[in-house]
Chains A and B, each alone.
Chain A
Amino acid sequence: MAAARFLLRSASSKGAISNVNGGVHSCLGITLVKLSPGGTSCSRTQRRHNSHFTFQPDPVPTQYGPTTKMNLFQSVTSALDNTLATDPTAVIFGEDVAFGGVFRCTVGLRDKYGKDRVFNTPLCEQGIVGFGIGVAVAGATAIAEIQFADYIYPAFDQIVNEAAKYRYRSGNLFDCGNLTIRAPWGCVGHGSLYHSQSPEAFFAHCPGIKIVIPRSPVQAKGLLLSCIADQNPCIFFEPKILYRAAVEQVPTEPYTIPLSQADVLQEGSDVTLVAWGTQVHVMREVANMAQEKLGISCELIDLQTILPWDTETVCKSVVKTGRLLISHEAPITGGFAAEISSTVQEECFLNLEAPIARVCGYDTPFPHIFEPFYIPDKWKCFDAVKRMINY
């Protein structure tokens, strides 16, 4: 496990550079990145597939005071900084967080707040989550980091059997509501099996925890601060492909965005599109394509919280549009789209004019070189909209 992670770290930093420079993945090799940021000297066989999404910043939020340009990893740091500043019990820990984290999310925090508040743990995920639960049981605020969502499974027992059930089983004598687990999530262009996963559906079957996934720096900070403040154990998945690629104006002061509330990003009348994380940006493009090529009006919803999810907003939209497309990177069978789909079918049976469509990852492990064919990109989603309209 350690060796694989080591390889990817170098890879992800390269991908991140190319994203910042032009949103295009360049060739393999650090020297090539330096010499030709545009990737023009790459031979045909070495060229990476273009980024599968285009990040679009939201309108600058004005209601929370001054803003600064931040990418997603910087907005996470900002949220953590605000938390450590206002909550003296709060601690941040995980593998390699002390020097700033392998994705730079905790840069500067140890120097600012001390070694006892921002510290490395041994390399052991079940230990990290168990330790975090203990910190929270003692009444302090615990912000644990799992280095990649792919490596959260060793802590599955601590999350599902312990964190999620602590309050219930003790009759509310004890709880670990002050625990937040952050983890980089989703595909990254070349992450292969163990640096690409989207494990939210595994956790969605577990009453007692909250699962939250932001789509942008502004959302990331507001939702992360809500997770930290929430009196339930939360898992916060950070789309790692957006760490550097997504840049927008983010308020520097703390603010919260409510959990369990979906965000209607774009009103429409013909089809409802539901996604979360990076896939929201894919769907935004699909909505534009549908408008341009088919004259179809799409309503775009960012679910934001996977558990407990906002059934009301989604069902209200489907009652209006009569059609629903759900898309996620994770495999289709047992994916969270199945839950949304069956709930909407139950609640909106008389309004549905076509079968609900799910455009998801295939039921395979997440592959390396085949990533462009694996992911539910805009063309796959666009085709699903087309078929749904013609149904």
Chain B
Amino acid sequence: MATVRGVRRLFRIGCYATRQNPTSTAPRFLQQREFRVNGVHRQEPFDSSVEKPQFPGASAEFIEQLEFIKPNVIAGIPVYRVMDRQGQIINPSEDPQLSKEAVLNMYQKMTLLNTMDRILYESQRQGRISFYMTNYGEEGTHIGSAAALDPSDLVFGQYREAGVLMYRGFPLDMFMAQCYANCDDLGKGRQMPVHYGSKDLNFVTISSPLATQIPQAAGAAYAFKRENTNRAVICYFGEGAASEGDAHAGFNFSATLECPLIFFCRNNGYAISTPTNEQYRGDGIAARGPGYGMMSIRVDGNDVFAVYNATKEARRRAVAENQPFLIEAMTYRIGHHSTSDDSSAYRSVDEVNYWDKQDHPISRLRHYMNAHSWWSEEDERAWRKKSRKMVMEAFEKAERRLKPKVDLLFSDVYQEMTPNLEKQKDAMWKHVQQYKEHYPVDLFEK
């Protein structure tokens, strides 16, 4: 492709010159010089006397043996970790040395998310909300990365990153309002549950189409770079979404356009029922980063400190150097894909149990806190009780609220209400007034 493009460019110059020919030859000369200068910017100085490849598409030496480059999938990119499964710091120089307060906050946000997940999952099973997606097993990736960001950094997510909002202080009432689509929902009840968004917390509203947020994140990061305000963008996605064309677009754009951006891939082993060996054959997602000219790392996603360290450093360098970073957090999706999925249809209970009981981000951080005597059995019991109470209160409150005004079906399609939509709104009301008994009018705000 690169060489074809080169030919195209040359041909265009030829065309241009032909067009200009009758009047003057000067423009042709300028045009060619401009092209050369551009070429020099991208490649090494042109020197035809040296016996080395002069192709504009890559900087490399010749070799005289036929040899295909082998992918390295057996011994892949190593998984960075800071503490072991018992919460012991392995290499003291990598210890982020977070304060007791900071660590307790992380732990409480992870467990609060877990409590909310359990209650909302159950409420869907009882038909009280229409849909839900839990975050089981991936709490560490959310909280560890969110803690390493500046609150002004813009977050683009997929849908399994509620912990980022939780860490930033999104109220339980607002989580519930969105899932119940009640009149408190900032999204005005228009999207399915778990499609959260918060302007105040710089968390861009979630949408269902996978990977669409990836090139968007690159654009936002580019705009931040021009603003020169020291903000970065983080973009989360699963390993399945990374197969979309938009992932390729976003990686490539952010590298060529030098965007201060962190790509954060949650590789949890499954995209609904599809295991990773049906998703890709390379060394996961991290191995793709260098192909785009992107700094990349793989971390233990169940180690909140490893996630924190990697994100912290990526953020620092992304902003300082205006370049994208790729973090692949290895983890395991302990819960079902969603409430519309029964994962026992495609994976064993033993496999799930291992990750739930023996390698869980929450229990690992708890071991760490225990070792520091920052957390006791009693604290645990009290916090469990308290968090459950907080969630239940928000839950019951959300359930009692009315749904938003039906007029909100028509606003925000465009910034302004178009005459056409105004007409359709009037027609709807006229109809509903006549056939009131067939519509759930009483559930909605007047």
Contacts and interface: CB of A to CB of B under 8 A. Distances in A.
Contacts of B219: 130-138, 142
B11 interface: yes
A6 B8 contact: yes
A52 interface: no
Contacts of B217: 134
Contact of A102 (B12, B154, B195, B415): B12
B252 A171 contact: no
B8 A2 contact: yes
A34 to B, nearest CB: 7
B316 interface: no
Contacts of B248: 124, 127
Contact of B209 (A116, A129, A137, A162): A162
Contacts of A208: 413-414
Given A89-B223, A99-B34, A116-B226, A158 B212 contact: yes
Interface in B284-319: none
A175 B416 CA distance: 13
Contact of A138 (B34, B185, B188, B224): B224
Given A126-B249, A131-B216, A171 B415 contact: no
B165 to A, nearest CB: 13
Interface in B4-53: 4-5, 7-8, 11-12, 15-16, 18-19, 21-22, 34
Contacts of B411: 172
A103 B154 CA distance: 36
Contact of B249 (A2, A130, A139, A312): A130
B11 to A, nearest CB: 7
A122 B250 CA distance: 10
A133 B15 CA distance: 34
Nearest to A98: B38
A139 B226 CA distance: 12
B204 A137 contact: yes
Given A2-B1, A142-B219, A173 B415 contact: no
A157 B209 contact: yes
B256 interface: yes
A140 B226 contact: yes
A170 B11 contact: no
Interface in B209-224: 209, 212, 214-224
A121 interface: yes
For chain A, what secondary structure do more than half of its interface residues adopt (helix, strand, loop), or is it mixed?
helix
A122 B215 CA distance: 12
B212 A10 contact: no
B15 A231 contact: no
A139 B199 CA distance: 12
Given A138-B220, A171-B188, A157 B414 contact: no
A172 B413 CA distance: 9
Interface in B370-429: 411-416, 418-420
Nearest to A104: B16
Contacts of A10: 11-12, 15
B245 interface: yes
A42 interface: no
A11 B88 CA distance: 69
B186 interface: yes
A277 B257 CA distance: 34
B322 to A, nearest CB: 11
A312 B4 CA distance: 50
B425 to A, nearest CB: 13
Contact of A134 (B7, B205, B223): B223
Interface string A162-185: 100111111111110100000000
Contacts of A119: 257
Contacts of A13: 15-16, 19
Nearest to A160: B209
B414 A232 contact: yes
B198 interface: yes
A99 B188 CA distance: 45
Nearest to B251: A127
B252 to A, nearest CB: 5
Given A3-B4, A174-B197, A308-B420, A131 B415 contact: no
Q: Which of A127, A132, A134, A137 has the most CB of B within 10 A?
A: A134
A127 B249 contact: yes
Given A91-B226, A127-B246, A174-B204, A162 B212 contact: yes
Interface of A: 2-3, 5-6, 9-10, 13, 17, 30, 34, 89, 91, 99, 102, 116, 119, 121-124, 126-127, 129-140, 142, 154, 157-158, 161-162, 165-175, 177, 207-208, 210, 231-232, 260, 308, 311-312
Of all A-B residue pairs in the complex, the 7 with the closest CB atoms, nearest first, are A134-B219, A130-B215, A127-B249, A138-B223, A170-B205, A134-B216, A131-B219
10 contacts: A13-B16, A34-B22, A89-B227, A130-B216, A133-B216, A157-B209, A157-B246, A168-B413, A171-B188, A231-B416
